[in-house]
Amino acid sequence: MTGAEISPSDHPKPPVRQVLTRLVKKGWTLRKENHWGKLYCPCDDSGCTTIPISGTPKDADWHAKQIARQAARCPLPPDDPRRSRTGMNRDRQP
């Protein structure tokens, strides 16, 4: 993980702020990366789900639903190909 930890309340869009608040309470980590931020799942390994968070989504409701859908993928069994955003575990060879 890189970047400083940030608060969900820093996000400018209320629907996104609500889903981020819920996920951070469940153990997800929100860090300042990319355009606005990135969510890291609470799993202990580095091959699990990360979710990029846009600071200026065109449709905040849709972006919030997308974040929630991606977060629902975790925790998954270690051999499940959906664990990482790219569909591959980092510890597996392509």
Phi then psi for residue 66, to 5 deg, are: -65, -45
Torsion of CA 21, 36, 59, 14, to 10 degrees: 30
pTM: 0.76
**What single-letter amino acid sits at 57?**
P
For residue range 28-82, list pLDDT tens digits in order. 999 998 789 999 888 766 667 789 999 999 999 999 999 999 998 777 666 666 5
Q: How many CB atoms lie within 10 A of CB 86?
A: 10
pLDDT at residue 85 is higher than 50:
no
pLDDT computed for residue 91 by the predictor: 40
